[in-house]
Structure 1
Amino acid sequence: MDLDDLDIFRCVVREGGIARAAARLHRVPSNITTRIKQLEARLGVALFRKQGRSLALTESGQTLLGHAERLLLLAEQAEQEVRNGTTHGTLRLGSLESTAGARLPSLLSTFHLQHPGMSIELQTGITDTLLRMLARFEIDAAFIAEPFEPGRFSSRPAFNETLTLISAQGTPRIHSAADLSGQTLVVFPHGCSYRRRLTEWLAEEGVTPGRILEFGSYHAIIACVAAATGIGIISTELLDHAVLGNAVQRHPLPDRLRLNRTHLVWTDQPGAPLQALMALLP
């Protein structure tokens, strides 16, 4: 498969259409259209479909985009290494926000000091979102939390975490699941591993919480809990680093729920940047 064809295909996706891709690549639109049609004929599938006045990727196009991103990145890395004689490359890394806030700052600092020719592009999200991004080859690796289904991904434990319930200062102590009956839960959206642990525990104990408030960041969750909005679940390692960490009260979970591991997961054979990062893990 021709790398130039893949670059044209990727540009059409990024620019959202033939005309803008042609302008970006300094080609005439008819040339871009012909190259896309030739690529579709070679693969025997449609890569785009009409969506109003714009183009949208088909399922086959989405699959090809992930592979195209990786192949073009590998080609760029190979050229840099041959030209400069040193290892370069970019690692597209996904991470839980808790891991990014508590675990990654020192790790990435060491990485950049030891490997100045490599770079990391970091995106945060919940476990299920990060796994979907891996499956679509939008990222190369991700730090996610238990529980999760590894599927076809490779994985290794990265960090041990301790989970705790949090409430506003001065609220009654939480001794069991029953104490959460009717309480408002302040959590991440569906797909968060910590939320899954909490809700499964309550279901096992036959406890029904009150409302569930969903927020997209730990900063918002901690702030709302501190304001006596409800009960949250969080990594103690992150809480120790949080600005409002002292504004909430901690309540220990049962042992089987308290201890949790963060894993690094990836697809295919790890490239040089990922291998360099893995070498720094505990």
Structure 2
Amino acid sequence: MAINHKHLFYFWKTAREGGVVKAGEALHVTPQTISGQIRLLEESLGAELFDRQGRSLELTETGRLVLEYAEEMFSLSAELEQMVRHYPGGRPTDFRVGVSDALPKSLVYRLLQPAVSLPEPVRIVCREWRLERLLAELLEHRLDLVLADTPVPAGLERRAYSHHLGESGLSFIASRSLLPQQPLPFPSGLGHLPLLVPGEDAAVRQKLMAWLERRQLRPKVVGEFDDSALMTAFGQAGVGAFAVPSVIEDECLADASLVLLGRVPELRSGYYAISMERRLTHPCVLAITESARQKFTEVEYLEQPD
């Protein structure tokens, strides 16, 4: 016999509300009606869904299994209603993007924002992993695009294409609480500050450390972060100075507790959109690449000497 969805709905509501009384109040029916509907469902399934101990209800093993399916079914039902109400033309297109964990999250948002501003509805699905894992997903066509700070590595088993979005120098930033009363000269003052640095997966890491060495600057490295957002949070807390791509410098400095120490335009980070297409055709990818190139052109003017 097919499951009666009304019976299943009453069971689902009871499990979510924590009892038949609260479920009855939520649905504006009597607790007896709720109990009767659940009993009919149990009879059709041939299994108890609740362990009844007085007024207390505990899900049985079968009840937990049925609840998992009910959650998914009624979640899809709610999603369907949203689609019909808000997207009369149909379900939005899924745009599946892999984001290298070395990329600053605010930069990723700036890069992806044009895709959700297209006339046709788009639902972005983001996955953040190491680049190797993302490329494997791309090659299996489980991702439409990968955003990274390096191009496709040589020797990749199958062909993927790197589309250069732009470059940015680095801006060094610190919390006001970390600084002495007198302004520190830049860049020599970095040698007197604790420093937070990107993790080894970040393409700019080696360039940064080599630049410090050439300048004979030896700050105390107090933190190393694969996640740039976490590094920024530690920087905001005054743990150490840190560097961000100049293209997102303005976002960081919107926090009044942070100050710009100086810019190093020669410490370049490149940013790439990696796809299976040699010639880009996906409307979301086209919107991202066109907008990104404009943004990176604007930051080139920011980095020009005064």
In structure 2, do the counterparts of structure 1 residues 271 and 89 end up closer, same or farther at CA, with 3 Å as the change threshold? farther
| Structure 2: gaps (5+ residues) | 1-88, 291-306
Tell me, what secondary structure is at the counterpart of 1:139? coil
Contact 1:98–1:235 under 8 Å retained in 2: no
Query: 1:173-232, CA deviations, whole angstroms, 9 ceiling, x for partnerless residues?
Result: 3523x4333643223322123433322312333443323413454443233223331110
In structure 2, do the counterparts of structure 1 residues 217 and 281 end up closer, same or farther at CA, with 3 Å as the change threshold? same
Aligned length: 187
Q: Paired residue for 2:131?
A: 130
Q: Tell me, in whole angstroms, the C-alpha distance in 1 between the residues paired with 2:117 and 2:244.
A: 26
Tell me, what secondary structure is at the counterpart of 1:173? coil
Contact 1:99–1:143 under 8 Å retained in 2: no
Contact 1:188–1:215 under 8 Å retained in 2: yes
Q: Paired residue for 2:171?
A: 164
TM-score of the aligned structures, taking structure 2 as reference length: 0.50
Contact 1:94–1:142 under 8 Å retained in 2: yes
Contact 1:187–1:213 under 8 Å retained in 2: yes
In structure 2, do the counterparts of structure 1 residues 180 and 242 end up closer, same or farther at CA, with 3 Å as the change threshold? closer
Contact 1:134–1:267 under 8 Å retained in 2: no
The CA RMSD measured in Å over matched residues stands at 3.5
Compute the displacement of 1:249 (Å). 1.3
Contact 1:143–1:262 under 8 Å retained in 2: yes
Q: Paired residue for 1:100?
A: 108
Q: Paired residue for 2:272?
A: 263
Q: Give the ranges of 4+ consecutive aligned residues of structure 1 lying more than 6 Å apart after TM superposition.
A: 85-88
TM-score of the aligned structures, taking structure 1 as reference length: 0.53
Q: Paired residue for 2:243?
A: 233
| Structure 1: gaps (5+ residues) | 1-84
Q: Paired residue for 1:190?
A: 200
Q: Paired residue for 2:214?
A: 204
Tell me, what secondary structure is at the counterpart of 1:208? coil
Tell me, what secondary structure is at the counterpart of 2:94? strand
In structure 2, do the counterparts of structure 1 residues 175 and 135 end up closer, same or farther at CA, with 3 Å as the change threshold? same
Contact 1:185–1:212 under 8 Å retained in 2: yes
Bigger Rg, structure 1 or 2: 2
In structure 2, do the counterparts of structure 1 residues 222 and 86 end up closer, same or farther at CA, with 3 Å as the change threshold? closer
Map 1:141-152; keep pairs closer than 5 Å.
141-145=145-149, 150-151=153-154, 152=156
Tell me, what secondary structure is at the counterpart of 1:263? strand
Q: Tell me, in whole angstroms, the C-alpha distance in 1 between the residues paired with 2:222 and 2:251.
A: 25
